[in-house]
Structure 1
Amino acid sequence: MSPRVVLIHGIWMPATVMAWMAARLREAGFACETFSYHGVTRGPEEAVGRLREMLSAGPAHVLAHSLGGLVTLEALRGQPQIPVERVVCLGSPLRGSGAAHGMRQRPWAAAMLGQAADLLERGFERWPGPGELGSIAGTLPHGLGHVFGGFRDEHDGSVAVAETRLPGMADHAVIRASHSGMLFSPEAARLAIAFFREGRFL
């Protein structure tokens, strides 16, 4: 039986944006499912509940982009009975998003975050499990997030590399890709596959 991977998109994106990455995972022998949610209008709480149900169906890995990574960790935190083995986050601001913080200072921009604003800005202190966590960050600064984030160090246009590091994670990798570009990055796909197989970015 092929290992199961659940793919989760980021804010403002449709589930179909994960199709390219799903195709690479299938080529590597994984069975893929996509989870769709409305983070802005319905909020992460609704997504977290549905995701817990989906992940409880059987052993799985998770590949999540941006806000999808935060939704995943929120769903797994304090739920050791959920059989998720490994999670790979692509450009997720796991320590909290400086861009989200900046957007919340401007009412017209804050509205774009909707009900996802709190989780995006807060992030997490550390990762206690369940499941091994790997995070991939990008360093191609193409995106409008830096306008609000005021990044001083490397970033992918929306999320700083420092925001993707979380105490307790199993591994971290940095690639030359933008925030949305990593969804179509052969290197990101290779790293995710390695992590799902070995628990490390080989």
Structure 2
Amino acid sequence: MARPRDPQRREELLDAIVGYLAEHGIAQLSLRPLAKALGHSTYVLTHHFASKDELISAILAHLDQRQRGRVGALPGPGTSGGLSLGDVVRASWAWHLSEDLPIVRLLHEIEGLSAAGRLSGPYVPKMLGDRAEFVADVLRAHGVPEEAALRKATLLNAAYAGLQIDYLTTGDKERVEAALDELAGTADSWTSRE
């Protein structure tokens, strides 16, 4: 009889796996070298993640949950010290550049491999759809009308991701952050003019 999966152990493994992949990338991911690098047997990984696809799906969900937790911890609209949409965009950018740059690279690598047809499975489209829904909920909480929230969330996500890729590619922080400020101002305008 198989041992039940330990959710806390799974989260610890995901943190270690994300750290490894942030350093080594995902294009050549193989469970055996990954397990060896983490000091585990392949069985430990397959016990918690039945397949490579399940592992990638779990990684994306894990990273998404981390970002949601950060945004959820920010003071919301209507609260003392509540942040504007633009402030939320800027706070997210600061986290990504100061703490999570290798993870941002990893996410864009995963998205790029999926766009190129080199990763099978529905996990990247699901992640992008879930991200759009989450951002739409944040927009709604800031007063963006229901009928516009998902469309504007999609636009905000795409522009934000494009700025990340521009920065990762060029390293031109000043120019990219000036554009980010413009994007944050646009997001703020959605709550004042809608």
Report the TM-score, using the length of structure 2 for normalisation: 0.29
Q: Which structure has the greater CA radius of gyration? A: 2
Of structures 1 and 2, the one scoring higher in RCO (CA 8 A, sep 6+) is: 2
Structure having the higher strand fraction is 1
Structure having the higher helix fraction is 2
